[in-house]
Structure 1
């Protein structure tokens, strides 16, 4: 293979870290290439060595790292010359001339990668200041052009804004502008869309593809999302435990996967073609043992479709924002986060709640948990011991309610106390509700550990010694400790790898079946909701715009917002590429792009839920033609 052909060539690279007890080998004998103007995707689970390899290319590995091998970079602006990045002095002039100028990088978490003390324009133009002898006015003009190119609606205004004033999607765009301002030959994108909504992810992918073609730039895309890979990559490299298992063109990898690990990764991804009752195939199955778990505390069996566990009616929540000027003149603005939300959850079912960030999903869950007081509406919980008014409950009724409704949080790291052992974490709810004595509580903790597939011997460990998936299982066990009837799961798998996500989803399904649990499952990943939910409610702007059984909603969506969400899901299938041309990405929640029958024009003809048959409701004008909506 001609060396001049490859923009980046990694040869026999091994990376190890010096730790107590001998070296930790993060990468072993890695070989891969990135061709000019092409996208190479580096795929693997957390801990497989992907990010460490990208740090070696950028020359930003920590001092404790030991690296061997060669990383050859052939700059198209210097034909015939190839530089070995590993031979360059650490932080010397050669590597600094490459970093940020010829090789750019987008980091995973835009909030921690951007300085909170500097404006966006200041940070974007910093690379130009370091690498080019430009006048200040010219730098500013270039930075504004780049902000325009990455899709900022008002680049001149954005130049003077701070990162905290931007949404997650715009912060990620600012990161992309910083990485591309010097027109690098190679862009390293480390999980650039992991923390984003499905519609914003589609925008960022479309943007990266467009920029990559426009600037004739090569890209090393690090991700664990095979849907993203199928839509963007030209070549794929699969990593597992620091070793490269398989590499080749995207066609060959997806149509004829050879390595069992890659086949396992593909089988672990939830997709819309799963048959009812079909399970995800996790790489490492978690044995679920609920035989001896809270045997008498399982929820009662459902008495049919009219057996409602939770009834929510006309829920509203308005937040008041106070802005004060230098010279007094305070003025208040109010934001309606939840606007007339009504739904029922039937006993034993899983209701999915879907929507972009800011649509009001989490506010609804906090109201149900009594963490936020609503401005209006009613919530009735029909438990085993009779109905309880959730919003009015006090004293014993509230204590009972706290045991009946439990929550599994999004981030398994911040929702578990780092100062408590697993035993303390799992026994705390039992102590608060005065259940049993010390011996019976210990027995319950051990049976909870077995139920979620963790060894009971680990109960003296602290959360930091577990992986992300294991921590999320501990969070689920804590929620189950009091034998609840309703579990509210707020994005429980969004922070996890595909393979670990499959474990957690299968665990939740098994627990639901064995314990007769009822779920409210909140997520922005439609494929995950499709796998978990029986019925799905779609939220936009604080309202439920569509509600239907899952097989109807995801295959025949009626509301334009739901259609945009479904169209933005990247499939891990080369025959179903994302249709970037027809995607109204900038305007999924922009009501002006919706049909007139879905818009609230502020007149008498108000929007209300219209019944389309089969439990399918859509928010539309009262005068809208139902038969027309169905088509």
Structure 2
């Protein structure tokens, strides 16, 4: 292999960190390359060493790191010159000249990577101020040009905005602008789309591809999403526990995977072609044992009496107040939930999908009584009779708290760092006065056994567990009170694909063994397709389509649903995303919808139309149903 053609070449790289008890070997003899103008994807789970390699390339490893090997960078701006980044003095002039100017980086979490005290324009133009001698006016002009290039519709206005005023997708675009403002030869993108909606992710991927072509830039893409890799990468490098286990062109990697780890990663990805009842092949399966947990499976109620939760015309409005420079107060009203209605049957999983800001989490908070709705009704059909969820007080509300439990999105922030696992799992039992100290300890051990964690871990704190293990603890806490309904709010969005498969299989096993009912909230349609029996699609506070899983994702009717499905990246080279058909304004841009789906304020209002077989779509009342069939 001719190394002179490589833009970046990493040879025999080993990185270890000195800690008490012995060094941690994060990277072991890793070798890879990035070709000019090409995309190399570095794929692996959390903790495999991906981000550590990117930090070594940028020269931002902590002082505790011990590094061996070579990182060779051949800058096209200086033909015939190759430098070893590891030989440069730490924080010296040479590495600071490269970093940010010739090698740019997009970090994973834009909210923590951007300063909350400075405007977007200030932060992007700072890179030019450091690396060029251009006057302030020209820096501002170049910054506004770059903001326009990455998709800001009004770059001049965006220049003066602060990060908290932008959505997650817009913040990520600002990070891309900052990384590209000096037109680097190499861009390192560290999980650039992990926490984004599927439609925003598609826009960011399209943007990166276009900019890469326009700027003739190479990219090192760090990710665990094989769907993203299949749609963007030219070459793939697979890393496992710090070692490169497989590398090659994307075609060879996907069509003829060789290493068992790569095959396991591919089998763990949920996709629309899974057959009914087929399980995800998790790399490390979680044993489930619920025999001592909650007794026998609940007997399903007779047909006609099988509605567990009934939601009718739920609405919620938020009002924000903002004062201008004269002190005059301005009120802005946002209708977060607008006439939402659905039923959840006993033992089923209802999926609730939609982009961030569509109202999914607001609905879940109303069901949990964390928020008060403006109008509507929610009825939970308990064994002792129906409970009015929105009006419950005193003993009725206390009973309701045990019947509905929640699994949160972020297992780190939802578990107290000051409490052991035993305390976390026994706290719900103590609050609701279930049993004594001995029976609670026995219940905690049974819960640990049910989620596949060793009982000896009960005296550990959350920080000593991995992300997947913490999420299992969150699930166990939700199960402690034997609930009827479990609300899962993005329970796997922050997890690796292999750990995600573990949690999804665990949830399905618990549903089967305990007769649980789920409201499963997610923006990942492939995950919802695997978990749900029926799916409700939410847009701008309204449910625009509701149907059985096999109908909705294979024959979607509403333009918004179609946009969501089209934006899902498949880990399949024969089913690449069609970037040309994606709506750049976002899936919720009603201008791209047909007139029968738009509420233009006329007398002909929108209403759920019954297409048969439990399939409903939000359209104008006078719409001919035959026109809507695919």
State how far apart, in whole Å, the 2-side matches of 1:585 and 1:294 are.
49
Q: Are 1:119 and 2:122 an aligned pair?
A: no
Give the SS at the match of 1:277: coil
Offset of 1:325 from its aligned partner?
3.1
Query: Which whole-Å deviations, capped at 9, do the CAs of 1:507-529 have from their partners, x for residues lacking one?
Result: 00000000000000000000000
Partner residue of 1:65?
65
Give the SS at the match of 2:91: coil
Alignment of 1:222-241 (within 5 A): 222-241=222-241
Please say if residues 40 and 221 of structure 2, whose CA atoms lie closer than 8 Å, have aligned partners that are also in contact. yes
Q: Are 1:333 and 2:332 an aligned pair?
A: yes
Partner residue of 1:74?
74
Offset of 1:588 from its aligned partner?
1.1
Partner residue of 1:163?
163
Please say if residues 302 and 348 of structure 1, whose CA atoms lie closer than 8 Å, have aligned partners that are also in contact. no
Aligned length: 630
State how far apart, in whole Å, the 2-side matches of 1:81 and 1:557 are.
55
Offset of 1:586 from its aligned partner?
1.8
**Structure 1: runs of 5+ lacking an equivalent:** none
Partner residue of 1:610?
609
Partner residue of 2:137?
137
Partner residue of 1:109?
109
Partner residue of 1:499?
498
State how far apart, in whole Å, the 2-side matches of 1:109 and 1:328 are.
35
Give the SS at the match of 2:573: coil
Alignment of 1:201-220 (within 5 A): 201-220=201-220
**Structure 2: runs of 5+ lacking an equivalent:** none
State how far apart, in whole Å, the 2-side matches of 1:471 and 1:2 are.
46
Please say if residues 116 and 163 of structure 2, whose CA atoms lie closer than 8 Å, have aligned partners that are also in contact. yes
TM-score, normalised to structure 2, is 0.99
Q: Are 1:41 and 2:41 an aligned pair?
A: yes
Offset of 1:458 from its aligned partner?
0.5
Offset of 1:384 from its aligned partner?
1.8
State how far apart, in whole Å, the 1-side matches of 2:324 and 2:56 are.
48
State how far apart, in whole Å, the 2-side matches of 1:568 and 1:22 are.
46
Partner residue of 1:351?
350
Query: Which whole-Å deviations, capped at 9, do the CAs of 1:64-112 have from their partners, x for residues lacking one?
Result: 0000000000001111110000000000000011000000000000000
Partner residue of 1:402?
401
Range that drifts further, 543-552 or 114-123: 114-123
Partner residue of 1:472?
471
State how far apart, in whole Å, the 2-side matches of 1:276 and 1:392 are.
39
Please say if residues 587 and 593 of structure 1, whose CA atoms lie closer than 8 Å, have aligned partners that are also in contact. no
Offset of 1:305 from its aligned partner?
6.1
Offset of 1:191 from its aligned partner?
0.1
Offset of 1:127 from its aligned partner?
1.2
State how far apart, in whole Å, the 2-side matches of 1:599 and 1:587 are.
15
Please say if residues 406 and 486 of structure 1, whose CA atoms lie closer than 8 Å, have aligned partners that are also in contact. yes
Range that drifts further, 134-143 or 497-506: 134-143
Offset of 1:4 from its aligned partner?
1.7
Give the SS at the match of 2:392: coil
RMSD between superposed Cα atoms in Å: 0.9
Please say if residues 236 and 248 of structure 1, whose CA atoms lie closer than 8 Å, have aligned partners that are also in contact. yes
Offset of 1:334 from its aligned partner?
1.3
Give the SS at the match of 1:585: coil
Alignment of 1:419-430 (within 5 A): 419-430=418-429
Partner residue of 2:619?
620
State how far apart, in whole Å, the 1-side matches of 2:487 and 2:381 are.
15
Please say if residues 350 and 521 of structure 1, whose CA atoms lie closer than 8 Å, have aligned partners that are also in contact. yes
Alignment of 1:517-528 (within 5 A): 517-528=516-527
Please say if residues 146 and 177 of structure 2, whose CA atoms lie closer than 8 Å, have aligned partners that are also in contact. yes
Offset of 1:333 from its aligned partner?
2.1
Partner residue of 2:86?
86
Partner residue of 1:174?
174
Offset of 1:471 from its aligned partner?
0.3
State how far apart, in whole Å, the 2-side matches of 1:86 and 1:115 are.
29
Please say if residues 536 and 550 of structure 1, whose CA atoms lie closer than 8 Å, have aligned partners that are also in contact. yes
Offset of 1:18 from its aligned partner?
0.4
Alignment of 1:501-540 (within 5 A): 501-540=500-539
Range that drifts further, 498-507 or 576-585: 576-585
TM-score, normalised to structure 1, is 0.99
Offset of 1:303 from its aligned partner?
2.5
Please say if residues 409 and 491 of structure 1, whose CA atoms lie closer than 8 Å, have aligned partners that are also in contact. yes
Query: Which whole-Å deviations, capped at 9, do the CAs of 1:313-349 have from their partners, x for residues lacking one?
Result: 0000011111223444323221110000000000100
State how far apart, in whole Å, the 1-side matches of 2:385 and 2:287 are.
34
